A and B are shown apart, each in its own frame.
Chain A
């Protein structure tokens, strides 16, 4: 079924460095969502992108949806220790039940070294 691939799996950065995670799909996505999960916590919704080429910003976070709506990225400028966690992208996919559901990527685990 539909797979949403996410890279890298792990990323260690020095505090103040930038960070980017990428999400790729083999098929066109109607929308893509991003979630953040702090260590020991639960995923929390960050943003949804629906338009081709869309760019949205939340303070130091910049989210992009590709022109072909097959890929997306999350870029964090000047990382802080509060950015630590796992970032997931999620897009429409097919589950065993055949109805379209949100399918989560495997996530990028970000570590920020002080």
Chain B
């Protein structure tokens, strides 16, 4: 069963703690993305990766970090430097031929609440 998995679905953390959100895909896609979605708003790009061992900052990268050691995995760490981390985090992937035209496939998302 091909797709993108994100875990956990809900995550609670105390303020000041780093937290890592997982994203795994078995679609054999080269490109992967992390978005943040706040209530009633669109998707804002945090980081993206077009190939293993390479990634680029998106529009709101401050307070976040990523790694891309394997093609299938693109974990996102929300650091204590992120001032307002409570949000819905969506991971996506695409075939990677042309990121501005590729169809993106989204995971189910992780809803992070920082107390």
Question: Which of chain B's residues have a CB closer than 8 A to the CB of A90?
Answer: 104
- Determine which of B40, B58, B107, B108 lies in contact with A97 in the assembled complex, contact meaning CB atoms within 8 Å: B58
A62 interface residue per 8 A CB criterion: no
* Bound CA span A33–B99, Å: 12
B64 interface residue per 8 A CB criterion: no
Per DSSP, chain A at the interface is: strand
Question: Which of chain B's residues have a CB closer than 8 A to the CB of A105?
Answer: 42
In the complex, number of A-B residue pairs with CB atoms less than 8 Å apart = 73
B45–A106 CB distance below 8 A:
no
B57 interface residue per 8 A CB criterion: yes
Interface size on B, residues (CB 8 A): 27
A99–B103 CB distance below 8 A:
no
Chain B residues within 8 Å of A, Cβ to Cβ: 33, 35, 40-43, 45, 48, 50, 56-59, 61, 90, 92, 99-109
Chain A residues within 8 Å of B, Cβ to Cβ: 1, 6, 9, 30-31, 33, 35, 41-45, 48, 50, 88, 90, 92-93, 95-97, 99-107, 109
Could you name 16 residue pairs across A and B whose Cβ atoms are closer than 8 Å? A9-B40, A33-B103, A42-B90, A45-B103, A48-B103, A90-B104, A92-B100, A95-B59, A96-B61, A97-B56, A99-B50, A99-B56, A102-B100, A104-B42, A104-B43, A109-B40
